[in-house]
Amino acid sequence: MAWPELYAAWLRDPVGVTPPGGESGAAVFERIEVLCAKLRAEAARTFLMVSHKTLLRFLIARLVGIEPSRARSATELA
């Protein structure tokens, strides 16, 4: 693993830690807010969403009311 300390920090704080050249969890969560607004506006339509695990965890956390900082906890999303 290239950056074990950074990865460990990200696991502890996925919202506040930003990988080099990457997007912060806070920025991802802001995009999710925009996505949720668009989905609400188009509620009568059917959607297929394809994504990666981190974005999906943040989206699920948002939809069920879990703090974004706890989105990586499998027990929180189970």
pLDDT for the residue 5: 93
Q: What secondary structure does DSSP assign to 21-77, as a single string?
A: TS--HHHHHHHHHHHHHHHHHTTTS-------HHHHHHHHHHHHT--GGGTT-HHHH
Q: If pLDDT is split at 50, 70 and 90, which confidence band does 29 have?
A: confident
Query: Does 77 score more than 60 pLDDT?
Result: no
Q: What is the rounded distance in angstroms from the CA atom of residue 17 to the CA atom of residue 28?
A: 12
Query: Does 39 score more than 80 pLDDT?
Result: yes
